[in-house]
Amino acid sequence: MFPTPIEKLSPSVNISYRVAIWIALLLWLLPMAAVLLTSARSVADINAGNYWGIPSEWMIIENYVQVFQATPMAKYLMNSILITLPAVAGAVAFSTLAGYSLAKFKFKGSIALFATFIAGNFVPFQILMIPVRDLTIDMGLYDSATGLILFHVAFQTGFCTLFMRNFIVALPDELIEAARVEGVSEWKIFWYVVLPLVRPALAALSVLIFTFIWNDYFWALVLVQSDEVRPITAGISALKGQWLASWQLISAGSIVAALPPVVLFFAMQKHFIAGLTLGATKG
């Protein structure tokens, strides 16, 4: 283990280390802690410039209720869910199929195809912006959840295929071969042999791209314009203009927007990190 385990050092070093990590954590999260506190502040506090101290009165419930009552926040939240969940399902489904094909079948051009998925995943969004916007308008899907979902499915498929292909390639060939000898059809092999084996990867991938899609802001700006469809990232940024100095509301809104991916992260931490660090230990 590196660095040297702290238990092997003197008791005083041990105690200071154990205190230091918490102080470091506090400093690291200071901006977030301040937002959390501010979402509980009163207007009087904000006007008096009490941005960083303890609130003079706690207005947690009032502020959060006001955020939901005075703004379309509930609608934004719902929109985000209705966009993110189908997009995650679609991208994961398509890429599992594609990843299996690229990992376990030999055919001409499979490496080139794999490379295309990887490369496409890194391109700047701006190079796609105008044509994707036009395409979405032509299909009559501008300012609709479907338009946004289709794009997310397509784009995330690049990263997801990379991920699934690398996971499936490491699975033993023998199981698939054995099923083939038995005369099981290719589709049934996929469904009954491969799919159960990739379950952990599916979980990791879903959590990860849920966060990516939930946090998308650019495409929400480019493909959507009404509050009816707007997801929460674009929603909160639109509200910022209306609220101006109502920092207690902006803070409460920010917390609401950040909550779903944060909850998911803490609930599925192991999967999330496994997904994110795929490739960081080998390759």
Query: Using an 8 Å Cβ cutoff, are 144 and 229 in contact?
Result: yes
Query: Using an 8 Å Cβ cutoff, are 233 and 217 in contact?
Result: yes
Q: What is the dihedral of CA 232, 238, 242, 248, to 10 degrees?
A: 40
Q: Give the distance between the most distant pair of CA atoms in the chain.
A: 78
Please give the residues from 176 up to 195 whose contact with other proteins meets the rule CB under 8 A: 180, 183, 185-187, 190
219 binds other proteins (CB under 8 A): no
- Minimal distance, residue 140 CB to other proteins, in Å: 16
Binding other proteins by CB under 8 A: which of 149, 204, 222, 223?
A: 222
Site string for other proteins, 120-159 (x = CB under 8 A): x-xxxxxxxxxxx--x--------------xx-xxx-xx-
Please give the residues from 235 up to 254 whose contact with other proteins meets the rule CB under 8 A: 236-237, 240, 247, 250-251, 254
Report d(CA 165, CA 156) in Å as an integer.
14
Question: Is the peptide bond prior to 3 cis by the omega test (within 30 degrees of 0)?
Answer: yes
Point out which span in 59-67, 68-76, 113-121, 197-205 binds other proteins (CB under 8 A): 113-121
Please give the residues from 10 up to 49 whose contact with other proteins meets the rule CB under 8 A: 14, 17-18, 21-22, 24-25, 28-32, 34-35, 38, 49
Please give the residues from 250 up to 279 whose contact with other proteins meets the rule CB under 8 A: 250-251, 254, 257-258, 261-262, 265-266, 269, 273, 276-277, 279
Please give the residues from 47 up to 106 whose contact with other proteins meets the rule CB under 8 A: 49, 51-52, 93-95, 97-98, 100-102, 105
Query: Using an 8 Å Cβ cutoff, are 90 and 145 in contact?
Result: no
Return the amino acid letter for 275.
G
Helices and strands: H and E segment counts in the chain: 16, 0
Sign of the dihedral defined by the CA atoms of residues 67, 31, 59, 45, in that order:
negative
Binding other proteins by CB under 8 A: which of 177, 218, 228, 267?
A: 218
